[in-house]
A and B are shown apart, each in its own frame.
Chain A
Amino acid sequence: DAGVIQSPRHEVTEMGQEVTLRCKPISGHNSLFWYRQTMMRGLELLIYFNNNVPIDDSGMPEDRFSAKMPNASFSTLKIQPSEPRDSAVYFCASRIPRTGLGNEQFFGPGTRLTVL
């Protein structure tokens, strides 16, 4: 299996531009998580989906952020308009359906976003 796939791996954009981050979870995984990692705030959960349905978006910082999961194999995280403080590494993770065996999350390689 190719693991969780994220694109782009690096994104540099100017303040005010729209940014779209993409994630393809591992096939067969039904939960998908978006995280943001910065030096100041560490690892933060932004939103997660179960069976393509958003379950908890309480971590989304503000209305400029939105996430979708149109099908089981694809999710996007969009920032519009972007701001310099959005600069971070954004990770996507996926997980198999719960089996009571302590199912771990599998992380993608991340997208390093720089907003100038």
Chain B
Amino acid sequence: AQSVSQHNHHVILSEAASLELGCNYSYGGTVNLFWYVQYPGQHLQLLLKYFSGDPLVKGIKGFEAEFIKSKFSFNLRKPSVQWSDTAEYFCAVDISNFGNEKLTFGTGTRLTIIP
């Protein structure tokens, strides 16, 4: 079965610092990849997704992610974080294969931005 690993459990950064959150998945076939964000007390919202084409995808709020197939990775980046980016970030994988409709989520990375 596919799995998703987010190695950073809690990241603390100062405002304006650059961000990179790691995400690795284990599945050898075609995948769709997602990053979701959960602001404190709120539900999950989609930041960005990759399903085909350009491996560098841009999402909302200045976030981007790069799909590197050879490394089974889909790391999330932002060049300059803001206090409002404080949230929990979840990477998820969906194997592109009818019959398996589930998203497999990573355990999440809590991001704290210090003003």
Contacts and interface: CB of A to CB of B under 8 A. Distances in A.
A110 B44 CA distance: 9
A105 B34 CA distance: 10
Interface of A: 31, 33, 42-43, 45, 48, 50, 55-56, 91, 93, 95, 98, 100-110
B43 A109 contact: yes
29 contacts: A33-B102, A33-B103, A42-B105, A43-B105, A43-B108, A45-B102, A45-B105, A48-B101, A55-B101, A56-B101, A56-B102, A91-B44, A93-B44, A95-B101, A98-B98, A98-B101, A101-B51, A102-B32, A102-B49, A102-B51, A102-B52, A102-B94, A103-B32, A104-B34, A104-B46, A104-B49, A105-B103, A108-B43, A110-B43
SS class, residues of chain A in contact with chain B: strand
Contacts of B103: 33, 45, 105
B110 to A, nearest CB: 11
Interface of B: 32-34, 36, 42-46, 49-52, 90, 94, 96, 98, 101-103, 105, 107-108
A31 B101 contact: yes
Nearest to A106: B46
Nearest to A42: B107
Contacts of B107: 42
Contacts of A98: 98, 101
